[in-house]
Amino acid sequence: MITTSVNQEPNLIISDMAEHLIGSEIIKIAMEIGDKIKAGEKIVNLTIGDFNPEIFPIPMELRDEIINAYLAGHTNYPAANGILELRKAVSSYLKDNESLEYNPDEILIACGARPLIYATYTTLLDEGDGVIFPVPSWNNNHYVHIVKGKPIPIETHAENNFMPNADEIKPFIKDANLLALCSPLNPTGTVFTRDGLEKICDLILEENHRRGPNQKPLYLMYDQIYWVLTFGSTHHYNPVSIRPEMRDYTIFIDGVSKSLAATGIRVGWGFGPQKIIDKMKAILSHVGSWAPKAEQEACAKYLVNKPAMDSFIHNFKENIDMRLEALHTGFMAMKNDGFKVHAIEPQAAIYLTVQFDLIGKKTEDGKVLHNTKEVTSYLLNEAKLGIVPFYAFGASEDSTWYRISVGTCTMAEIEDAFISLRKALSKLS
């Protein structure tokens, strides 16, 4: 008989992929902040890419449609690719708002954007296939690991608003089968210019022409989940509108999570070439990651309610932009006052890109801040400010840049944050 000591853990051998899958650095930071808040500390938490429903509730009409759908008994399985009414509504929505022509069979509904991203990776990539993605960017490094692909990260720079350009991509393009892009970008809240995206599309088209019909193409996954949330003169561009030939190679990721403050509603959609969408559908049907039917029924009705959507999005964007502008103004005022901070002017999404150039500074007790992790800890413990460093998004660990998210904060909290921040940074020498 084989026995195991009660004090000895069994040697449970698992897959190499799971063994080496890295947990979310963002969740780790959020848990640390959560523990401090539970202990009674007052923390301004600007880490989470989510919304506080008390500050940013979902549209009233969408809420009512969800309730009505449950009351009507829409609690059974939906179609594997999403109910037809919703796919038709998404098709009309894309045509009316982005001039994109995709029929309902080229659209796949899932429970948010994440399963669609997973399905894109698993549909297009074999083990060892190369994936180009910029860093910082959200979770591409983890998806590459899951499918056992070959990661090809490109470190981006502040002078380009942390958006990758064709010159940075070109040296690696022959080694890749997928280029993963996001605009507006999480974590930076910045976007592609038309010229910048055109050059990248031309690079993809040129490479696929070189490969010919008998070689796997270079595909583009274009995550535009934040595209509705642009501010000022910022304009969102998509690859197929500016280069129609990109239609054969582009898989879009989109949904209601960010545009309607509806992260918990779990309704996302992907769209692209029907053969690829059909295979993504097959994969997700085995995973069972469809959006709840009642929420699908509700979104199908809400997406075609243009007056309600326009009114909600107008007010929603005003409130997001107000917070981003307040933060940007506050950081630039601190910079002008001599503090070692900087911020990129907000363009889109719910994020502001900020810099704390504090490595090498000394605290009041003489402790040197040797690296970004120590700076982040100082900001949390001394300034009571929770923000996410870019290394949590795959950037180098010595990056001095951070993501600030405004989806859960009030204007009063922003004012309080700058009071605490100025006080904490004034103690450094």
The verdict on 360 and 319 lying in the same domain is yes
Q: What is the pLDDT of residue 414?
A: 96
Whether 222 is covered by a domain: the verdict is yes
Whether 5 is covered by a domain: the verdict is no
The verdict on 301 and 340 lying in the same domain is no
Q: Which of 244, 273, 305 is the last residue of a domain?
A: 305
Q: How many domains would you assign to the chain?
A: 2
Whether 2 is covered by a domain: the verdict is no
Token pair, residue 236, equals 């969102």
Q: Is 250 exposed, middle or buried (0-12, 13-18, 19+ CB in 10 A)?
A: buried
The verdict on 281 and 147 lying in the same domain is yes
Closest among 71, 100, 32, 4 to 387, alpha carbons compared = 32
Token pair, residue 18, equals 């799971």
Residues of the chain with pLDDT under 50: none
Q: Which of 286, 305, 324 is the last residue of a domain?
A: 305
Whether 234 is covered by a domain: the verdict is yes
The verdict on 272 and 362 lying in the same domain is no
The verdict on 135 and 164 lying in the same domain is yes
58: phi then psi, degrees, rounded to nearest 5: -65, 165
CA distance 185 to 225: 9
Is residue 385 a contact partner of residue 44, using CB atoms and an 8 Å limit?
yes
The verdict on 114 and 228 lying in the same domain is yes
Whether 4 is covered by a domain: the verdict is no
Query: Any idea what the CATH number is for the domain that residue 238 is in?
Result: 3.40.640.10
Task: Give the domain extent around 363.
Answer: 16-56+310-426
Angle between helices 274-287 and 113-124 (to 10 degrees): 110
Q: What is the pLDDT of residue 28?
A: 81
Long-range contacts of 275-278 (CB under 8 A, 24+ apart): 276/123, 276/124, 276/251, 277/81, 277/105, 277/106, 277/107, 277/108, 277/251
